[in-house]
Structure 1
Amino acid sequence: MPQFFLNKRLIVLLVSIIILVALIGFSLRERSELTSQEKFVKDTTGFVQNLVSKPAHFVAGFFQNLEDLQNTYHENKELKTRVEDLVTLEKQVQILEKDNKELRVILDKKQTLRDFKPIQATVIGRNPDRWHEMIIIDKGKTNGIKQNMAVIGSNGSLLGKVKHVNQFSSTIQLLSAMDPKNQISAIIQGKKSAFGLVDGYDKDKRLMVKRIPSDAKIKKGQIVITSGLGGIFPQGLLIGKVVDVKPDQYGLNQTAYVKPGANFYDIENVMVIKRAMRVPEAGDYLDTTKEETP
C-alpha cells in the first residue's frame, strides 16, 4: 500500500510539471491577443500601480518644489548681496575716476603708461605647423595697425604682438612662440613689486619670467602684468599668475613660472592695442653720455 501512494504522488508531480511547462510555453509564444485571465491580471496591476504612483509623484513633486523654492530664495538673497556690492563698487570707481581726472588736471598730466586705444580684430588664419606661434587677423595698415603693437584676447590677457603688417591683414606673434627676441618687460605684483622679463615658454605651457633679483620675495598666486617700460606694451596688461619660482643656475637671479591668462589654443577674436604715449625709438636707448671722438 505505501508503495502505491508513493507512485501516485510521483505521477501527480510529473503531471503537474508537464502542465506547468505547457502553460509556460503557451504564455511565451507570440499571440495577437491576451487571454481574459491575463488581461484581468494586467488591468488589475496597472490600476493598482496608477493608484499608488499618482500620490507618490504628487508628494515627491511637492517636496521637490519646496526644495527648489528654498534654493531660489537663497540664490535671490545672494544675488541681492552681490548687486549691492556691485553698486557700491561702481560708486567707488566713479569717485576714483573723478579724483584721477582732477589730479591729472592739477599735475597737467594728460597721458600715462596705461592709456591705450583698442582695435577689434578677428582671427582669419592659423598655420597648423606653427599653431602656438602665429595667427593672422583681418586688420592691417588701413585700420591703423603697426608693427610691435600689443594684442590681447577676449578676456583682456596679453596674447602677443604684431609681427608683420599688410594692407588688410596682420600676423600676430604669440607669447608662446619660441623666439629669443620675444621678450616683455613685466611686473610681479606684491607688497613690493619685482621686475623681470618674460622670456620663453616651457614644455608645461608656462611662461618664464627671468632676471628677477634673488632677494625679491616671489610667491605662488602673484599676478604678473606688463610694466609699460619696454616701449611696446602699455602698462597693466595681464600676463598671468605665478605657479612656481626657482633660482637660476648661478643663484644670482630667479625665474618665475607663470600660467598665462590667455588661451593660446582657442583664439577667435582679439584686440590690437594702440598705445597712447609715444613709443620710444631705438635711438632713445643709446648712451649719449659718452663724448664723441674727433
Structure 2
Amino acid sequence: MFSGKKTKKNLLIGGIALIVFILIINVFSSEARNFFYKISYPFQTSLWKAGNVTSNFFYAFFKAKETSKEVDLLRKKNQELLAKLALMKEVKNENEKLRTALELNLQKEYKIFLAQIIGKDVNQNLIVIDKGEIDGIKQGMPVITCQKSLIGRIDRVYKNFSKVLLISSKSFSFDVLIQTRDSKNDILGVGVGGGGSKAYIKFIPREKKISENDLVATNSLGGIFPKGLLVGKIKKIKRSDTEAFQEAEVELAANPMNENEVLVITNH
C-alpha cells in the first residue's frame, strides 16, 4: 500500500520537474541555450577541430593522388612529344642528306638508297648499315657519302642489314684516276687499302708527274665503281730511280667513323 503511494508521488514529482523544464526552455530560452552551449562548447570545438583535421587530411590525400596522376599523364605526353621531335629531326636529317645528293646531281647519275650506319669495326675495316636483302641491297654495290666521296662496297648482305668493306681494307683494290694540275690527261693507277684509315696508289708510271694534293677519283675500267667518285688527295709520294713505277699515299676524303648515314648506289 505504501509502495503504491510512493510510486504515485515519484510520478507527480517527475511531472512537475518536466513542466518546470519546459517553462524554463520557453520562458528563458536564450539563457538556457546559452547555458547549454557554454557547457558543450569545449566538446564541440574539439570535435570540430578533429573533423577539420580529418577533412584536410583526406582532401590532401586525394589531391596528392590526383596530382600524381596528372604528373604521370604529363610525363607520358612529354615522352610522346620527344619521340615525335626525334622522328621529325631524323626525317629532317634524311631530307638534308638527300638534298645534298640532289645538289650534286647524284640522283641524276645514279639510283641511290639512303642507309644508316648501325655498327663500325675499325680493326676489320667494316661498317654495318641498316639496309639489307629486303631493301634490294646486293653484294658489290658501291657505298658513298652524301658528298660523293667513296667509302667502300657492299661485302655481305643479310635480310635486314649489310656489311660494307671499306676501301682502306688491305684486301681492297680498284682502278683510280689522278687528276693532276699540270697534265691534260688523267693518270691511271691502282688504289689499294693500307689498313686502318690508310690507302695507297700503286703502278703509277715513273715518268708521270704527280704532286701532293692532286685529287684522286675512281676509274670505271675495272667495273668495280663508276667513274668520278672522289677517293681523296695525294698526301705523300714515293719515287725510286730503280723502280718502273712510283707510289703515293692517299689522304682519304671520307672517314666512315665520322659518318652516320651513307648512300648505296643500286644501279651499278
What TM-score, normalized to structure 1? 0.50
Residue 179 of structure 2, aligned match among 186, 189, 192: 189
Q: Which of 116, 125, 147 in structure 2 is aligned with 1:122? A: 116
* TM-superposed deviation, 1:214: 1.0
The within-5 A match list for 1:139-158 is 139-158=131-150
- The answer as to 2:253 corresponding to 1:261 is yes
Give the counterpart letter for 1:126 in structure 2: K
Counterpart Cα distance in 2 of 1:226 and 1:119? 20
| Structure 1: runs of 5+ lacking an equivalent | 1-92, 98-113, 277-294
Task: Provide the rounded CA distance (Å) in 2 between the counterparts of 1:275 and 1:144.
Answer: 11
Amino acid of the structure 1 residue aligned with 2:179: Q
Residues 233 and 275, structure 1, Cα contact 8 Å, conserved in 2: no
C-alpha contact 1:115 1:275 (8 A) present in aligned 2: no
Aligned residues: 160
Structure 2 residue aligned with 1:50:
none
SS of the residue 1:265 aligns to: helix
Tell me if structure 2 keeps the 8 A contact 1:116–1:234. no
Larger helix share, 1 or 2:
2
Structure 2 residue 200 is the aligned partner of structure 1 residue 208? yes
| Amino acid of the structure 1 residue aligned with 2:142 | A
Cα distance per residue 1:130-181 (max 9 Å; x no partner): 3xx01110111222211111101233210111100112211001112222xx
CA contact (8 A) 1:122 1:268 kept: yes
CA contact (8 A) 2:142 2:152 kept: yes
Alpha-carbon displacement from aligned partner over 1:93-131 (angstroms, at most 9, x marks no partner): 9xxx9xxxxxxxxxxxxxxxx94211110011224653x
From the CA coordinates, give the structure whose radius of gyration is larger. Answer: 2
Amino acid at match of 1:119: F
1:263–1:152 distance in 2 versus 1, CA, 3 Å: same
CA contact (8 A) 1:120 1:269 kept: yes
Checking the alignment, whether the CA contact within 8 Å between 1:200 and 1:208 is kept in structure 2 is yes
Give the 3 Å change call, closer, same or farther, for CA 189–128 of structure 1 in structure 2: closer
User: Quick one: which amino acid aligns to residue 163 of structure 1?
Assistant: D
Query: For residue 200 of structure 1, what is the amino acid of its counterpart?
Result: G
Does the aligned pair in 1 maintain the 2:143–2:263 contact within 8 Å? yes
Q: Secondary structure at the match of 1:126?
A: strand
1:177 is the counterpart of 2:194: no
Which among 146, 159, 169 is matched to residue 167 of structure 1?
159
The residue aligned with 1:108 is none
Q: Where has structure 1 moved over 2 Å in runs of 4 or more?
A: 126-130, 247-250
1:1-294 to 2 correspondences below 5 Å: 115-127=109-121, 129-130=123-124, 133-179=125-171, 182-190=172-180, 191=183, 192-201=185-194, 205-247=197-239, 250-276=242-268
Secondary structure of the equivalent of 1:236? coil
Percent of aligned positions that are identical? 34
Deviation at 1:250, TM superposition (A): 4.5
The answer to whether the 8 A contact 2:156-2:163 is kept is yes
Q: In 1, Cα distance between the equivalents of 2:122 and 2:198?
A: 20
Normalized against structure 2, the TM-score is what?
A: 0.55
Distance 1:163 1:121, change over 3 A: same
Q: CA RMSD in A?
A: 2.4
Contact 1:115 1:234 in 2 (8 A): no
CA gap of 1:128–1:274, structure 2 versus 1, over 3 A, is closer
Q: Give the match for residue 11 of structure 2.
A: none
Q: Distance in 2 between matches of 1:202 and 1:216?
A: 26
Deviation by residue 1:254-291 (Cα, 9 ceiling, x = unmatched)? 11111100013222100011235xxxxxxxxxxxxxxx
Supply the AA of the counterpart residue of 1:184.
F
Q: 1:159 is paired with a residue of what secondary structure?
A: strand
- SS of aligned partner of 1:216: coil
Partners of 1:202 and 1:208 within 8 A in 2? no
The 3 A distance-change label for structure 1 pair 139 and 249 is farther
